[in-house]
Amino acid sequence: MTNDKLHLVPEMSEIWQQTLNWQPTAQQQVQFQQLYELILEGNRQLNLTRITDPQEFWEKHLWDSLRGIAPLLSSPSSTYPPVGERSRTTSPSLIDIGTGAGFPGIPTAIALPHWTVSLLDSTRKKMTFLEKMLSALALTNTKTLTGRVEEIGQQNQHRQNYDVALVRAVATASVCAEYTLPLLKPNGLAIIYRGNWTEEETTTLQNAVKQLGGVIEAIAQFTTPVSTSIRHYLYLRKVATTPVKFPRATGVPVQKPLS
């Protein structure tokens, strides 16, 4: 193990509060530190992330993950209005598509302990590692799914089953829309994490989202608090039933993106 394991993820309480109107509890801060150490350990076998400096980890993995779900953090008791239609007795559900090393899903699960979080990825080796990591973090509100989102999105137990769907650094925005919207309940929310963004991309995305039964609810631009780089977060609301042909077969959304 490198000396990095001895480094502490910065608390950044003031920045959390200023940028997200939220800050982690002492227990959540401990979990963030544990997550960092587990990722460093897993990196030796799996090459999970090139981001290993503790401050960079805080900004690019923790802060970025939670900046995307800021509207949910403002109501941590899980009453963020409106999410998908659900019974009052059940926890709201969230799926992280293409979770990779567990981002943004695991920081989200730590920050929203009353939500049920599913981590989806097609790489079995990574998912096996994530299962061990979830156990070490004692995250009982989180589970893993191994598979392709195009297939998952056509399965009855997942289609129209989630209040919120997250996708970060996976594909173009219109492809991400096709991945997320079929999985959402009526009125559910898709959150797509992007770097740069243009008006031209908005027009293309609007056309794609309309075909999938959604609308663009908001596009938030933010400057990261340490490296001052630009990030965008796209919020898509599901307003109609997604046609049964979506998502299309594995590989087709990427090869022929909706426009």
CATH of the domain at 47: 3.40.50.150
CA 223, 180, 89 angle in degrees (round to 5)? 100
3-state secondary structure of 34: helix
Q: 60 near 51, Cβ under 8 Å? A: yes
Structure tokens at 38: 């587990």
In this prediction, residue 1 carries a pLDDT of: 41
pLDDT tens for 15-27 read 999 999 999 999 9
What are the tens digits of pLDDT across the range 101-156? 999 999 999 999 999 999 999 999 999 999 999 999 999 999 999 999 999 999 99
Question: Could you give the angle at the alpha carbon of 199 between the alpha carbons of 193 and 205, nearest 5°?
Answer: 60
Average pLDDT over residues 207-224: 97
Residue 237, helix vs strand vs coil: strand
| CA 250 – CA 34 distance, rounded (Å) | 35
The confidence band for 6, taking pLDDT boundaries of 50, 70 and 90, is: low
The CA-based angle 217-221-225, given to 5 degrees, is: 140
- How many domains does the chain fold into? 1
Average pLDDT over the chain, rounded to whole?
92
DSSP string over 102-150? TTTHHHHHHH-TTSEEEEEES-HHHHHHHHHHHHHHT-TTEEEEES-HH
Domain with 20, as residue range(s), is 3-255
